[in-house]
Amino acid sequence: MTEKIRIATKKDAAAILAIYMPYVKETAITFEYEVPTLADFEKRIEQTLARYPYLVAEKEDSTLTGYAYAGAYKGRPAYDWSCEVTIYVAKDAKSRGLGTRLYQALEVELQKQNVVQLLACITAGNGASIKFHEKLGYRQVGIFPKLGYKFAQWYDILWLQKTLQEVSSEPDNFIPYPKIKDLP
């Protein structure tokens, strides 16, 4: 079954949180120690959509199987053409091409916004995520040794980067997501 990819809404927060929860509790893929509340996730979706895309993958029965979104790399205007991308796929939906489809859909939306550079922050040792990003054209550009601490262990952080579209001396203006999409 192929999932439909669509824009997330606040109503998706509980399903998105259910996908995210095991990553918080069981892995160092995210450095959150506590699972966020439903209200926190609703707010995160709203805040993201004020400027960037937040996409979900939905099966025919309305079950969400993954999500991807973009966020500011830094909050200064000179970074408008660069953003950080994030993806999470439900454990039972991995290795079916869903992550690739989500990221490809996210990239289409980011191109409409005139985003040029994509950045992914990955915990070292997460070989599957590194390979996934490299397959999609990301390359490692930085490592921060022992930057995150979780589960009584220090972790290195890797930054991967992908150039989404040609770098020009005068880029087109960044367009906030609500100006290119009618959001629900």
Nearest to 178 by CA among 60, 48, 62, 66: 48
Interval 43-51 mean pLDDT: 97
More confident residue, 181 or 143: 143
Q: Does 150 have pLDDT greater than 80?
A: yes
φ and ψ of 79, to 5 deg: -95, 5
pLDDT at site 169: 86
Q: Does 66 have pLDDT greater than 60?
A: yes
Torsion angle, alpha carbons of 69, 161, 103, 108, to 10: 90
Handedness of CA 110, 2, 120, 20 (dihedral sign): positive
CB environment 106-118: b (16+ within 10 A), e (fewer): bbebbeebbbbbb
Sorted by sequence, the CB contacts under 8 Å of residue 90 that are 6+ apart come out as 19, 64, 65, 66
pLDDT at site 3: 85
Residues in the chain: 184
pLDDT tens for residues 91-104?
Answer: 887 767 899 999 99
Interval 109-120 mean pLDDT: 97
CATH number of 4-178: 3.40.630.30
SS (H, E, C) 89-121: ECHHHCCCCHHHHHHHHHHHHHHHCCCCEEEEE
Interval 131-141 mean pLDDT: 96
pLDDT at site 71: 97
Q: Does 84 have pLDDT greater than 60?
A: yes
